[in-house]
Amino acid sequence: MEEKALTAKKSGFSMLLLCFIVFASGAALFVYAIGHLERGENALGGFLLVVAILGYIAGIIALPGLWKVPMSASIRCRGSPSR
């Protein structure tokens, strides 16, 4: 069995951008859903509200993965402590 070195560069910037997009679209969808609920369109408004809340939950779950990439890179650069 051979060992293979992984050389793919990981960047947390794309994940940060994705998290911002998810949160911004969730907020916009939330406001849009409240507008539908105010007009009395309860089925569509309720559905959009549930989708917005699920989007927030997905963003919160994805957020810890954002810190995984930069932290592992900084630990790798630090190296082993010298005594």
Residue 60 and residue 19: Cα distance in Å, rounded?
A: 9
Write down the pLDDT at residue 78: 56
Cβ-proximal residues to 11 (8 Å cutoff; 6+ apart), any chain: 69
Digit-coded pLDDT (tens) for 38-75: 999 999 999 999 999 988 888 787 777 655 555 555 55
Q: HSE (CB half, 13 Å, CA atoms) of 11?
A: 4
The pTM (predicted TM-score) of the whole model is 0.60
